[in-house]
Amino acid sequence: GKIISAKVMTDDSSGKGKGFGFVSFEDPEAAEKAVEALNGNENSGKVLFVGRAQKKIERQAELKEKFERIRMERINRYQGVNLYVKNLDDNIDDERLRKEFAQFGTITSAKVMTEGGRSKGFGFV
């Protein structure tokens, strides 16, 4: 497709390339074809990432959504065998949680949810 602009980002002081750039296509379908054809290809010994240019906040939102989707898939996979445990004392860590429930059978995972290194008071077994 027709390219409107192409820009390799360079360091202001050295003039060397920063390892990324932007290409603007006239037609969005042409841009999508370029992504499909080039993303993941090797160029000069490096694997290319080719994707739609996004603002940082858009990327963060997309990554958060993907993380949440994966997290929910894991939770749903173990639905019925995964237990939610709340009102945990601050001194309960993953290992202690595992030990508390080990008497009831094989534990595949035990996770106390934390934020900033501190227990949020609940977990999953």
The neighbouring-strand residues paired with 6 are: 23
Residues in the chain: 125
Cα separation of 94 and 97, whole Å?
5
Class for the domain spanning 56-124: alpha beta
What pLDDT is recorded for position 98? 95
Is the model's pLDDT at 11 over the cut of 90? Answer: yes
Domain segments of the chain: what residues? Answer: 3-47, 56-124
Query: Of all residues in the chain, what percent carry a pLDDT higher than 70?
Result: 98
Q: Which residues contact 111 (CB under 8 A, 6 or more apart)?
A: 94, 97, 123, 124, 125
What's domain 3-47's superfamily in CATH? RRM (RNA recognition motif) domain (3.30.70.330)
pLDDT band at 105 (very low <50, low <70, confident <90, very high): confident
Beta strand spans in the chain (E) = 3-10, 17-25, 42-43, 46-47, 84-86, 111-115, 118-124
Q: For the segment 14-72, what is each residue's pLDDT rounded down to a tens digit? A: 999 999 999 999 999 999 999 999 999 999 899 999 998 988 899 899 999 999 999 88
- 56-124 matches 3-47 in CATH topology: yes
Retrieve residue 94's tokens: 């993953």
What pLDDT is recorded for position 80? 66
